[in-house]
Amino acid sequence: MRLVQMAVPPAKHDAVVELLEERELNYAIADETSDLNAETIVSVPIETAEVEGLLDSLREIGIEEEGYAIITDVEAILGSPEKGTERTTRPDSTPLLKPFTSNRISREELQDTVTEMAILTPSYVFFTIVSSIVACVGLLTNSAAVIVGSMVIAPLLGPAVGASVGSIVNDEQLFRTSILAQGLGLVLAVGSATLFAYLIKFTIMPTVDLHTIDEVVSRTNPSALSLIVALGSGAVGAFSVSSGASAPLVGVMIAAALIPPAAAVGLSMAYWSPVVLISVTVLLLVNILSINFASLGVLWMRGYRPPHWFEQETAKRTTMKRIGTLLIGLLIVSAFLITTSINISQNSRFEEEVETITAESDVRTLSVNISYKLRPFTRTPTAVTVHAETNSDQFADRLRYRIENRTGTDVSVTVVQERLQTSNATSGTPQLESLHSTRFRATSAS
């Protein structure tokens, strides 16, 4: 529910009252005592989804030029308005999109909201830098909790949605401000993470192998699933803001797609890992393009258009052009994700084959570990380590031969031969349990 309060000039009084009566809206009129040349102040409680239609009708009457209207959120209502209990929904020319066009805030309210969120302020700069540094710490310490904390404080929702709103409602100033805020935010995130990583390198952690950190490896060579996450982030962000819902929680999802990869870019430059640098840079580009693409599409489907008919065709051409540009860029960088996804599928089949081969042998296998060499967009299996209960020194050779014969992949095989001995307590005489193991290594390399 919203409350629309408007200052109505004398010449428009009858037209406004007639409009409100036609829409069967409840309203209250108060005399104006200031020097704004307005005879009355009209207050109208109205459903959120109907605000935009009312404002468009008021604009046609001329309130925009000779008066003004203020929209406020209604927290609670005591009693029930006599009129307006039945919603006068505007005809929907696209019934299939009705779930998207219902329950949304007005165009004017959306513009004001995202304009405030997309402004470059000291708070925006501060929180972006801090969130990137915290994400960098989370990656270095392999702490998922710290990384999530960095997402909570990142202020990236406003610029991401603001660019889409600016395109759709033909607000070029909002579009340019949002694009600038997005670009500056990414530069600040990557730059602050890089400087912080160099500081850590020269003071606390001079040598770090990024390939051994799970939180970094999980963002290296991303699959097509990363594209789905980014598209979902942009879609949910736009839908949430346009519904008037709480933005901070949804902002975490958008930050999850941007802040950790940006921090990983900084780490990979400081500790110089080209494979990680290339992979997380591609992931960052995919996420940026996906968020903007999804946000633009959702807002367009929700029915947002410029207020004036002569602007709508221009906005449509501009929006379609930008959607096309984003889509082309997305298809180009997504080709790398497809390559990675195919490689992940191949490695998964290789792991299944190795598990099957070891299970088919007459040796009891305790565990199987596979090592990979990381390359840009691919991982290549290089070694298989098997812990097994066997006394045969030829098991490694036989296993390597079977793996190569069945998978076509030549890897080095290491078999760790183990024997377990357990001493149990005898009755009446308590004893400690002891574990004895004897290990023999037999390695076969290509």
In this structure, whether the domain defined by 2-90 belongs to CATH 3.30.70.120 is answered with yes
Domain residue ranges in the chain:
2-90, 100-342, 361-444
* Residues contacting 316, CB < 8 A, separation 6+: none
What is the rounded CA–CA span in Å between residue 327 and residue 80? 48
Which SS3 state, helix, strand or coil, does residue 74 take?
A: coil
Q: Distances from the Cα of 107 to the Cαs of 56, 144, 242, 306, in angstroms?
A: 10, 38, 9, 8
Structure tokens of 183? Answer: 């670009």
> Residue 91 gets which letter from DSSP?
P
Rounded to the nearest 5°, which phi and psi values hold at 274? -55, -40
Q: Are 104 and 242 in contact (CB under 8 A)?
A: yes
Q: For residue 396, count other CB atoms closer than 10 A to its CB.
A: 24
Overall residue count recorded for the chain in this entry: 446
* Residues contacting 43, CB < 8 A, separation 6+: 3, 4, 5, 27, 28, 29, 30
Q: Which amino acid is at 443?
A: T
Q: Are 70 and 78 in contact (CB under 8 A)?
A: no
What is the rounded CA–CA span in Å between residue 381 and residue 411? 7
Name the strand (E) or helix (H) holding 289. helix 274-301
Which SS3 state, helix, strand or coil, does residue 439 take?
A: strand
Q: Are 4 and 44 in contact (CB under 8 A)?
A: yes
Which SS3 state, helix, strand or coil, does residue 444 take?
A: strand
- Taking alpha carbons only, the member of 359, 299, 290, 277 closest to residue 326 is 290
Taking only the tens of pLDDT, the chain with its 446 residues reads 788 877 777 777 778 778 878 887 877 888 766 655 556 788 888 777 777 778 877 777 777 766 777 877 776 665 655 554 444 444 444 555 555 566 778 888 888 888 888 888 899 999 999 999 999 999 999 998 999 888 888 888 888 888 999 888 888 899 999 999 999 999 999 999 999 999 999 998 888 888 888 888 888 888 888 889 889 988 988 888 888 766 666 778 788 888 999 999 999 999 998 989 998 999 999 999 999 999 998 988 888 888 777 777 888 888 889 889 999 999 998 888 888 889 888 989 999 998 888 888 877 888 888 888 888 888 889 888 888 877 777 888 888 888 888 888 888 888 887 665 555 655 555 444 443 444 444 454 44
Q: What is 208-274 written as a DSSP string?
A: --GGG-HHHHTTSS--THHHHHHHHHHHHHHHHHHHT--HHHHHHHHHHHHHHHHHHHHHHHHTT-H
Structure tokens of 355? Answer: 């598990």
Which SS3 state, helix, strand or coil, does residue 2 take?
A: strand
Structure tokens of 415? Answer: 């078999």
Q: Are 417 and 386 in contact (CB under 8 A)?
A: no
Q: What are 154's strand-pairing partners?
A: none
Q: For residue 256, count other CB atoms closer than 10 A to its CB.
A: 22
- Taking alpha carbons only, the member of 183, 218, 147, 190 closest to residue 292 is 183
